[in-house]
Chain A
Amino acid sequence: MNTEQLIFYFFAALLLISALMVVAMQNLVRSIFLFFVTLFSLAALYLFALADFIAITQVVIYAGGVLVLMLFAFMLSNKELLNSLHPIKTRFKFYQLTGIFICLTFLFILVSINLQIDFSGLNWIKASAPILERDNTTHNIGILSMTRYLLPFEVLSVFLMMALIGAAHLARKGKKI
């Protein structure tokens, strides 16, 4: 096992363990701070798929934007919201058992399908030119987003403006919506 695989499996284990802890944690503020760890190790996994620009975007948007937004949302809101987030001590409920059962079934289906497929034998993968370590993917993304994927790019910009106006309108104080 070389160093690349060692680092990859370290980050994969970190990702899955921290994701499990986020889900299992009773305290919401702690689980959101653990969510940071999950997102950073996910960004590290993107690097191993040779998507450096996506990894940086993940760190900037998720760790910088989404999580700070989540923390602000209940730190700046009124105190009752924070109080209602405190956990109620509960036993292991029946719905949790059914949830675990559904998730494990789904995981079994996904993994068994995954193990049946021979990915290196697929035609489009054999015919494709994989990204190499020395390629400049950021350059490639910039050119592609202005040529081949121009329409999704512009639709996305309009959508972002709609979401911005909508969120500002919903979160505003005063009269009813």
Chain B
Amino acid sequence: MIPLSHFLIISACLFCIGLYAVLTKKNAIQILIGIEFMINAAVLNFVAFGRFDKVNGGGQLFALFAIVLAAAGVAVALAIILNVYKHFKTIDPSKINQLKD
């Protein structure tokens, strides 16, 4: 049986890799991948704690909910990225700096 803290350390590393991608990448799709890493680190925490919660099952159920929400978020975010590209001709977030057209 793998101890709980090993799961948590792995998910902390994964979260920080995602944070790095969000902070430094110059491409909206790579930032989206970084957000996916962070969501997956949270899901790994949910699942690791959920092993000790058989009766209520909160960890596994909410891990499932988080995966589905992330999938819906990706679909909307990709549609937004395509529209932003059509409008601004770039998907570098630091160059997209105006709200009005």
B60 and A53 contacting across the interface, CB-CB below 8 Å: yes
- Tell me the dominant secondary structure on chain B's binding face: helix
Number of cross-chain contacts by CB at 8 Å:
214
Cβ-defined contact, B73 with A163, below 8 A: yes
Assembly CA distance A137 to B53 (angstroms): 11
Please report the total number of A residues contacting B with Cβ < 8 Å: 82
* Residues of chain B having any CB pair with chain A under 8 Å: 1-10, 12-21, 23-25, 27, 29-30, 32-34, 36-37, 40, 43-44, 47-48, 50-65, 67-76, 78-83, 85, 89-91
Give chain A's interface residues, CB within 8 Å of chain B: 4-5, 8, 12, 15-16, 19-20, 22-23, 28, 31-32, 35, 38-39, 42, 45-46, 48-51, 53-54, 57-58, 61-62, 65-66, 69-70, 73-74, 77, 80-81, 84-85, 95-96, 98-100, 102-104, 106-107, 110-111, 114-115, 117, 119, 124-125, 128-131, 135, 137, 140-141, 144-145, 148-149, 152-153, 156, 159-160, 163-164, 166-167, 170-171, 177
